Structure 1
Amino acid sequence: MTSAPLLIFDSGIGGLSVAGPIMSRLPNAPIVYAADNAGFPYGSKTEAEIAARVPALLGRLVERYRPALVVIACNTASTIALDHVRAALDLPVVGTVPAIKPAAERTRTGVIGVLGTPATVRQRYVDDLTARFAAGCTVLRHGASGLAAAAEAVLRGETVPESEFEGPMRGLLAQDGGACMDVCVLACTHFPLVEDRLVAASGRQDIAFLDGGAGIARRTAHLLAGRRWSEDEPAHRAVFTARTAAVDALAPALAARGLTQTDYL
């Protein structure tokens, strides 16, 4: 039996869309949810900045919390820094990649949208996933620079205008072939948190929205097969890299997901 937690890391609170499926699959595992709010948003940072920042932060977090496994619940950080993190840490590290493979399997029209941060959609990793799993499809990409921040605002209980969601969807649907798009990959973990707003903004009911949360939870459970935690209700905590008023505003959304303790790195 172990008391080692699972460390879930993101630039902000987007990784809650991954933490939820993991908690459902491993209900007795304690969770440390780490948000680098001091560095948020990652989508507008350079590759060099992310490649340096993420391994350093995770090294400090692993030293403090001694987790059994790390999940990088951020597409941008994963596509840029995953190899660096795995080289630096001596424990399993699960990354997050755009759900292009399941999207290609699901589409009927052959037109897939990938909605992510600017830093994610321009990565060669996305090119490689497309070539491997969606070579016969038309893959439309759009980098939505402000959507992660809008999702954070929604979870803080703020009023966010519909234009914040209509713009990103228009960025996909207005491209050549967009009228035929029937699957949209949410390639930022923030975006599933506002999927209902994106569905409404699209003005269409025939588009399936996919994300990687369930697949990450399956992979995490597989890597931890055989580990046992206490049958007592686990203690979950959130960790932030900066003390801000926004963290206080997130308290209800965090508590609703079982994250009732807050630390700062």
Structure 2
Amino acid sequence: MILSNNEKAIGVFDSGLGGISVLRQLKHQMPNEHYIYYGDSAFAPYGEKSKEEITKHCFEIMEFFIQHGVKAVVIACNTATSACVNDLRKAYPELPIIGMEPALKVVADGKKDHTIIVMATHFTLKEKKFHDLMARYSNENTIIKLPTPKLVEIVEQNKLQDDVLVDETLHEYLDPYMNKTVHSIVLGCTHFVFYKEKIKQIVGEQILVVDGNEGTARHVEKILKDKGEQRDDMDGEVEIYNSSNEPYYLELSEKLLEQDLK
């Protein structure tokens, strides 16, 4: 059966399970759409891999989506976006490919003398894409790069419910900055959205904690609306795939999809 573009799915992928937080936001924003999620848990975490390795896996995932006839692809991973979003767009010019980057612009635009912490993977923080973004705002603000790889591992190992481990890890990363004036924290990895409420509790209401999920979902919705390809008259669907053969990852994906992120 040949599907119209309206009926086709939106592909969403991540290095593992962090992108489920983006999928949740997309579902909230566009509940009628059909989504295909692909987690590359067999090769996670991307944040510790080379650009060449990440790019190779992203192209393989894109071919998976092409075979499934998607109408758009969301790279629900800051690291993968940094590594190869431009290469993917060149290779698939007919397909809208929406990447993610740390939401630094949201908190820094028009600000002066603000201190902003950007929590992300080592790869995202060292890449030219983030360096260029940071350069736009670092003259008038203090931007602190904070790699937090253990937070990715906790999600992937299904340890989010281990409150002691989560609290100890968050305090390990954040406590060195709590005696300083910090205005905003940017969650520059989709895995970190699962910690958003706990981070708010630790740092207090005076510090703004932001992620890029909502803005990404709005952007995808606008693209589909402009192309006249929204799926408005059907019930929403979600298919989840994973590069790992372990059924654990599919089960955990379903669990995270239903979790209340607030």
> Which position in structure 2 is the counterpart of 1:132?
136
* Structure-2 change in CA distance of 1:228 and 1:119 (3 Å): closer
Deviates more, 1:38-47 or 1:192-201: 192-201
> Which position in structure 1 is the counterpart of 2:153?
149
Percent identical residues: 25
Q: Deviations over 1:61-107 (max 9, x none)?
A: 22331111000010000011111111222301000011111110386
Contact 2:24–2:257 (CA under 8 A) maintained in structure 1: no
Deviates more, 1:20-29 or 1:234-243: 20-29
Paired with 1:62 and 1:154, the residues of 2 have a C-alpha distance of 26
Q: How does 1:2-13 map to 2 (within 5 A)?
A: 2-13=6-17
2:139 maps to amino acid:
A
> Which position in structure 2 is the counterpart of 1:263?
none
| Greater than 4 Å deviation, 4+ residue runs | 106-109, 154-160
2:183 maps to amino acid:
D
In structure 1, which of residues 55, 68, 73 is the aligned counterpart of residue 76 of structure 2?
73
Residue 104 (str. 1) matches residue 108 (str. 2): yes
* Structure-2 change in CA distance of 1:54 and 1:255 (3 Å): closer
Q: TM-score, normalised by structure 2?
A: 0.87
> Which position in structure 2 is the counterpart of 1:233?
235
Contact 1:186–1:192 (CA under 8 A) maintained in structure 2: yes
> Which position in structure 1 is the counterpart of 2:197?
196
Contact 1:76–1:119 (CA under 8 A) maintained in structure 2: yes
> Which position in structure 2 is the counterpart of 1:55?
59
**Count of residues paired in the alignment:** 251
* Structure-2 change in CA distance of 1:94 and 1:210 (3 Å): same
Contact 1:9–1:35 (CA under 8 A) maintained in structure 2: yes
Q: Gaps spanning 5+ residues in structure 2: where?
A: none
2:238 maps to amino acid:
H
SS of the residue 1:219 aligns to: helix
CA RMSD across the alignment? 2.3
Q: Gaps spanning 5+ residues in structure 1: where?
A: 258-265
Residue 167 (str. 1) matches residue 172 (str. 2): yes
SS of the residue 1:38 aligns to: helix
> Which position in structure 2 is the counterpart of 1:212?
212
1:255 CA displacement: 5.7
